[in-house]
Structure 1
Amino acid sequence: MDFTESFKMAAKTLAANKLRSSLTMLGIIIGNASVIAMVGLGEGAQQFINGQLQSLGPNVLFIIPGSRETRELGGLEVPRNLVVADAEAIATQVPSVKAVAPENSTQGVVSYRNRNTNSTIVGTTEDFLTVRSFEVEKGRFLTPLDQRRNSLVVVLGNQLAERLFEGEAALGKQVRIRGITFDVVGVLEQKGSSLGLNYDDSVMIPITTLASRIVGRTSPYGIEVSFISVSANSQESMDTAEFQITNLLRLRHGGDDFFINSQDTLLEIADTVTGALTLMLAAIASISLVVGGIGIMNIMLVSVRERTQEIGLRKAIGASQQDILVQFLIEAIILSALGGLIGTALGASSILVISVLSPFEAGVSTSAVLVAVGVSGGIGLFFGVVPARQAARLDPIVALRSA
Structure 2
Amino acid sequence: MDPLESVKMAVTTLTANKLRSGLTMLGIIIGNASVIAMVGIGQGAQKYAAEQFESLGPNVLFIVPGSREAQRSTFEVPKTLVLADAQAIATQVPSVNAVAPQINSQQLITYRNKNSNSIIIGTTPEFLTARDFEVGQGRFISELDLERNNQVVALGAEIAEKLFGSEEPVGKQIRIKDVSFQVVGVMEAKGAFLGNNQDDTLYIPLTTMSSRIVGRTSPYGIDLTFIVASAKNEKSVEAAQFQITNLLRLRHKIAGDDDFTVRSQKDALEVVDNVTGALTIMLAAIAGISLFVGGVGIMNIMLVSVRERTHEIGLRKAIGATQQDILIQFMIESVILAALGGAIGTFIGVGGIGLVGAVTPLKAGVSPIAILVAVGVSGGIGLFFGVVPARQAAKLDPIVALRSA
- C-alpha distance in 1, partners of 2:196/2:262? 19
1:165-180 correspondence to structure 2 within 5 Å: 165-180=164-179
Aligned match of 1:370: 372
Aligned to 1:283, which of 270, 281, 285? 285
Aligned match of 1:345: 347
Deviations 1:203-226, CA, capped at 9 Å, x for gaps: 011111100111111111111111
Q: How far did residue 356 of structure 1 move?
A: 2.6
**TM-score, length basis structure 2:** 0.97
Deviations 1:217-265, CA, capped at 9 Å, x for gaps: 1111111111101101111111111111111111111112212111111
Q: How far did residue 378 of structure 1 move?
A: 0.5
- C-alpha distance in 1, partners of 2:195/2:304? 56
Residue-pair matches, total: 402
- C-alpha distance in 1, partners of 2:267/2:299? 48
Q: How far did residue 9 of structure 1 move?
A: 0.7
- C-alpha distance in 1, partners of 2:105/2:338? 57
Identity %: 66
Task: State whether residues 81 and 221 of structure 1, in contact with CA within 8 Å, keep that contact through their aligned partners in structure 2.
Answer: no
- Which shifted more, 28-37 or 126-135? 126-135
Paired residue secondary structure (1:391): helix
- C-alpha distance in 2, partners of 1:200/1:67? 30
Q: How far did residue 298 of structure 1 move?
A: 0.3
Aligned match of 2:235: 236
**TM-score, length basis structure 1:** 0.97
Aligned match of 2:65: 65
Q: How far did residue 41 of structure 1 move?
A: 1.8
Q: Say if 2:69 is the partner of 1:51.
A: no
Paired residue secondary structure (1:237): helix
- C-alpha distance in 2, partners of 1:133/1:5? 68
Task: State whether residues 155 and 184 of structure 1, in contact with CA within 8 Å, keep that contact through their aligned partners in structure 2.
Answer: yes
1:49-198 correspondence to structure 2 within 5 Å: 49-75=49-75, 77-198=76-197
Q: How far did residue 295 of structure 1 move?
A: 0.1
Task: State whether residues 24 and 299 of structure 1, in contact with CA within 8 Å, keep that contact through their aligned partners in structure 2.
Answer: yes
1:257-336 correspondence to structure 2 within 5 Å: 257-336=259-338
Task: State whether residues 104 and 207 of structure 1, in contact with CA within 8 Å, keep that contact through their aligned partners in structure 2.
Answer: yes
Deviations 1:336-395, CA, capped at 9 Å, x for gaps: 111011111111122222223322222222211111111101100100111111111111
Q: How far did residue 193 of structure 1 move?
A: 2.2
- C-alpha distance in 2, partners of 1:346/1:196? 29
Q: How far did residue 134 of structure 1 move?
A: 1.5
Aligned match of 2:356: 354
Deviations 1:274-303, CA, capped at 9 Å, x for gaps: 100000000000000000000000000000
- Which shifted more, 166-175 or 377-386? 166-175
- C-alpha distance in 2, partners of 1:187/1:213? 22
- C-alpha distance in 2, partners of 1:105/1:63? 14
- One-letter amino acid matched to 2:375: V
- Which shifted more, 301-310 or 188-197? 188-197
- C-alpha distance in 2, partners of 1:306/1:392? 14
Q: How far did residue 196 of structure 1 move?
A: 4.6
Deviations 1:91-114, CA, capped at 9 Å, x for gaps: 111100001111111111111111
Task: State whether residues 103 and 207 of structure 1, in contact with CA within 8 Å, keep that contact through their aligned partners in structure 2.
Answer: yes
Q: How far did residue 52 of structure 1 move?
A: 1.9
Unaligned runs of 5+ in 2: none
Aligned match of 2:381: 379
Aligned match of 1:225: 224
Q: Say if 2:25 is the partner of 1:25.
A: yes
Deviations 1:14-49, CA, capped at 9 Å, x for gaps: 111111111100110111111111112211222222
